[in-house]
Amino acid sequence: MDNDLIKQCAAEAQKWLSPAFDAETQAEVKAMLESEDKTALIDAFYQNLEFGTGGLRGIMGAGTNRMNKYIVGMATQGFANYILKAFAGKENISVVVGHDCRNNSRLFAETVADIFSANGIKAYLFESLRPTPEISFAIRQLGAQAGVNITASHNPREYNGYKAYWDDGAQVLAPHDTGIIDEVNKVTIDQVKFTPNNDLIHIIGGEMDVDYLNAVHEALIDQDVINRQKDLCIVYSPLHGTGRVIIPAALRTWGFQNINVVKEQMVIDGNFPTVVSPNPENAEAMTLGMKLGDRLNADLVLASDPDADRLAVVCRDPKGEWCILNGNQTALMLSYYIIENKKKLGQLKGNEFMVKTIVTTETIAEIAKRNNVEIRDVYTGFKWIAREIKLSEGVKKYIGGGEESFGYLPFDKVRDKDSPASICLLCEIAAWAKDNGMTLYDLLMKIYLDYGFAYQSAISVTKPGKSGADEIKQMMEDFRQTPPASLGGSPVVCVKDYKTLKQVANGVESALDMPATSNVLQWFTADGTKISVRPSGTEPKIKFYVEVKGEMACPKCYPAATAEAKAKVDAIKKDLGL
């Protein structure tokens, strides 16, 4: 073990034995210092937990590289300093503070509210846990200048996080993101104002729930079809998180009457005892929901992640067995239904637009184009989708947008992923499908037949530590210097480099029109395959998103088309050395 690194970490740890830190924190740090095994000490103190463009996220515990009330405190003090500069001269500056179900989330949220109030900023603090989209909604509803949500989204139980929002209800973008980071990096623990001004802390709850549920109702498209299928058998799980009250309530306001919850997972518990990981993308997390669905002969099973921004959908295949939709399929189905049924009901006026991220299925773009709806491509992350809504506010009408990572936003009153609204709309889609003698699975097959079959695969390659980071950097550089000539047996005809904002298509170079640069590469082949590659911003991984097109002549052809597509993905992985 590196003795210099141990000395460096020990020196940092000694600072946490001062009276500025509570007795419990000091005891935890002393135990690390006195332990013969210095692994915990190094992990906790070898670096400062970075406040990035999305805020903070890390493992909870004492230390500079951990989520604790002191790191949260310094982040909040820096955020407060920036807000006061950005809105200098404005009276009654306010922020919204929310949190999820995780261990320490309430403590961290109260700490955040205390510090904002101590800096003369009014803090609207939610009375208890609430979904991420409701925090976004409340910022806009209350006319607040910013917001903080304490959540680590769908990460494992040992994590917590801190999401920073601006006055439009979206996570911060330039120039505010880097401005906030600069202010946070200046703060030392002795500068944090922990003593609250209780006159500036205002508790909110039920009244905002009502306003938010009314807003979610605006995403409804066809009330008549819900009225006809009000007994649609729905199973829902919040995975111990914030959707537990809001989502069943939202479904009832839409008119659904047969709503069944997974009782074991309705219990608020930051340890997530019924799942390995509280991530609805993982099939394991849906097990209890599917078991209840079997007992009830349910039409569909749905779940939201702990902060209720992401969602997962399970429907029945022709054999009656459960089929878990991936994020691309869910976004595809939502986009298709919004366009098709708004069109049939005369709700499209010609000024509508949709948004998807560049790594999300191109079939959404095909649906939009065929129906004369503008489609926009943005970088990964809902802050970029929110930016497009803001840019066109009052000029064009946003009607939906999403990304492959199980997030969708079907209306414009929120500026982040919204599982309550998306789940309600998915149940409307299931009702509409049933009204037309179909299941959600049948509808997915219809979309493939009408607009073309495509298969998506996400591949993550983990490269831990500094050597791993260097390796990922070198991989991206090698791909830039020597892009593949062909992939999966088809020649590469277009290369897009979002770091240089240039593309080369059939030998002709042109500029990419994007609001910022990003370390992303894309390759498009002659047979319609799209491969995107980017380093993860939060984990030691390099990610590859592959979409291949195939032939599917009938619904029964789906398994064969999928098998053929998987074989092509395997060939592409081999070509890329994965």
Active site residue: 105, 153, 304, 532, which one?
Answer: 153
Cα separation, 4 vs 38, in Å, equals 12
Q: Which residues contact 105 (CB under 8 A, 6 or more apart)?
A: 99, 129, 150, 151, 160, 270
Residue 175: CB partners within 8 Å, gap ≥ 6?
none
How does strand 374-378 pair with strand 352-357? parallel
Decide if 499 contacts 519 (C-beta within 8 A): yes
Q: Is 153 a catalytic residue?
A: yes
d(CA 514, CA 269): 41
Q: Where are the beta strands (DSSP E) in 10-103?
A: 55-59, 94-99
Reading the block at residue 412, the tokens are: 């414009």
Count CB neighbours of 516 within 10 A.
10
Q: Is 91 exposed, middle or buried (0-12, 13-18, 19+ CB in 10 A)?
A: exposed
The Cα-based distances of 129 to 98, 104, 125, 149, 302 in angstroms read 7, 12, 10, 10, 20
Q: What is the rounded CA–CA span in Å between residue 254 and residue 216?
A: 9
Tell me the one-letter amino acid at 528. Answer: G
Among candidate residues 218, 174, 274, the one with its CA nearest the CA of residue 428: 218
d(CA 44, CA 21): 15
List the structure tokens of 395.
Answer: 């000029």
Strands 322-324 and 311-316: antiparallel
The span from the CA of 320 to the CA of 303, in Å, is: 20
Q: How many CA atoms lie within 13 A of 8 on its CB side?
A: 13
Q: Quick check: bond before 175 cis, omega within 30?
A: yes
Residue (of 298, 287, 397, 375) closest to 331 by Cα position: 375
CB-CB neighbours of 346 under 10 Å: 7
CA dist., res. 246 & res. 109, Å (int): 20
Q: Which positions are annotated as active-site residues?
A: 153
